[in-house]
A and B are shown apart, each in its own frame.
Chain A
């Protein structure tokens, strides 16, 4: 089985443009959450914050990667992919049939969808955007990335809610190990901060109207985010042949499903998933120095995930530090696993666990100190990143130092 390495990273998020910007924000606890008000939700909007791109960053992305046939979600993905490809030093000959693309999205073209609903339902217009179908479809971001570089290998798009990006990276790992391709551009993209989408999240009542505080006793729900992140993944041989700088190895991956409740997570299945990822990576729990938790800041997630973490890493979690960086970059749904993979890789390469900011008080229900508020040094051979999605999907990635 082929070993797989990471040679490039790219990200666009509320923290700014660039994978390094995202990592530095995570390490410093510098949040991209800002006030967000929708004109179409006047008088009804109850939650007034989200981790949205700054107006300046969004304008830059749309100017440099915009296209009349692209929803912003695809522009985010193309921007992240350009950065990752540049860092990896890939050139024209490195694409073609031996390079695939695997970029997930939960909502696809959210702005196009929302604009159309408003035009059709509110304004009774029959003349909608004629390019709506190719702009809304979930795989558009992946397809635009493939066209950008001439990556003509397999193209996939996992549309598995909050696990879309983690599963996309995992699927890319499987294709690379099997020798189907030499390299993959893998990650996730989401641009769902539009009035209609935001309103239905409000109605599901899993968002906090105050501050996102994962694992804190006074937590009260999540904060939505958006963005995209893309990883260049290659077989070790491919990277060595090109003389590429290897950032780390993608050592393991597992995914499973609860086959239980659509929304309520099952700790036993999250436990099984993390254990399977460890086994896939050939590592013991004690070798994982840091876990970037799914950590949404809802009571259902916090209790489930911590119980699963204790079942995997021991009651005292051993030397494994756990934090959630969602209060910094928001819960970016289909992009979440990719943004958090960038953060987890930053933690591994810098040997620093980024903090869970906004933390007030240990919750006696879970009794966890999640690297509260300030980053800490770690001694980690490997790190893990979890995504636990609606639909009962669990997915865990393990990144390891390249030796």
Chain B
């Protein structure tokens, strides 16, 4: 399970870099999204791609308001995807 999440986190990090138009080399869990110049319009693109690939819907709202770093975003997204998978299998 832990390995699965690690792979998932890696895939999501790649997705965030691609959709946020950030150099993958600059991506690290500690990096602040603001410093990577990921703005509100980029979130819309990132979250659309997450919905397409993983079927999880995340609104650009409360949950995102406390997201500051790449790790914060990964935690949120992985949690949502796991909840989505649990709902589908349940």
Contact = CB atoms under 8 A, between A and B. Distances in A.
A111 interface: no
A58 B14 CA distance: 47
B44 interface: yes
Interface in B46-79: 47-48, 51, 57-63, 65
B40 interface: yes
Given A46-B51, A220-B62, A220-B63, A209 B57 contact: yes
A205 B60 contact: yes
B40 A219 contact: no
Contacts of B61: 205-206, 208, 219-221, 298-300
Interface string A79-108: 000000000000000000000000000000
A209 B84 CA distance: 12
Interface residues of A, number: 19
A194 B66 CA distance: 33
A219 B61 CA distance: 8
Chain A interface helix/strand/loop/mixed? loop
Interface string A218-253: 111100000000000000000000000000000000
A205 B41 CA distance: 11
Given A263-B40, A264-B40, A299-B65, A220 B48 contact: no
Contacts of B47: 205
B48 A209 contact: no
A170 B77 CA distance: 43
Q: Using C-beta atoms within 8 Å of the partner chain, give the interface range for chain B.
A: 10 to 19
Nearest to A209: B57
A201 to B, nearest CB: 11
A259 interface: no
A203 B45 CA distance: 9
Interface string A288-326: 000000000011100000000000000000000000000
Contact of B59 (A207, A218, A263, A264): A207
B62 A299 contact: yes
Contacts of A264: 40
B88 to A, nearest CB: 12
B40 A220 contact: no
The 3 tightest CB contacts between A and B, nearest first, are A46-B57, A221-B59, A205-B60
Given A206-B59, A209-B57, 6 more contacts: A205-B61, A206-B60, A219-B61, A220-B62, A220-B63, A299-B65
Interface of B: 40, 43-44, 47-48, 51, 57-63, 65
Interface of A: 46-47, 202-209, 218-221, 263-264, 298-300
5 contacts: A202-B57, A205-B48, A207-B59, A208-B61, A298-B61
